[in-house]
Amino acid sequence: MMLPIHDVVANAKTKKYKASLVDGTLTVPLAEIADDNMLILKNKELEFNILLIRKEGEFKALQMMCTHEGVPVTLSGETMHCSAHGSRFDFDGNVLQEPALKPLIQYEVSLNNNSILINTTKSK
Ligand code: FES
């Protein structure tokens, strides 16, 4: 099911979280992210942060890397912005403004008891 993610953003309080990474899987306690919120996941072994979005109990994990030339994107209002050449992406990862042509990389998310697992070796 496609998430109507856009209305998450206006009220989101975006905080950063240092997630553990084991065998390519990031683990985040479910309690760290309330519904209709976002979390920027960091780990020193990851080249790029991952934006975790929770909307209506469902999760989306987007690599914060511009698909134009591999530069980090930053949150900017209701979009993600790449300062290198001006690409913009929405919170479904879709390109809003070129030169990037491909959507942001999205990772598989699953739940295990009270943990959110993000498989950084499997993109959708
Ligand atoms: S690297 Fe992001 S727009 Fe070029």
Mean pLDDT of the chain: 89
Domain architecture of the chain: domains with CATH: 6-123 (2.102.10.10)
pTM higher than 0.75: yes
pLDDT at residue 123 greater than cutoff 60: yes
Residue 62 Cβ inside 6 Å of ligand 1? The answer reads: no
Length of the chain counted residue by residue: 124
Residue 68 Cβ inside 6 Å of ligand 1? The answer reads: yes
CA distance 59 to 47: 21
Residue 76 in contact with residue 37, Cβ under 8 Å? no
Quick one: which atom of ligand 1 is closest to the CA of 70? 1
Residue 72 Cβ inside 6 Å of ligand 1? The answer reads: no
Phi, psi of 30 (to 5 degrees): -55, -35
pLDDT tens-place string over residues 12-60: 457 899 999 999 999 999 999 988 889 999 999 999 999 999 988 899 9
> What is the percent of the chain where pLDDT is above 70?
90
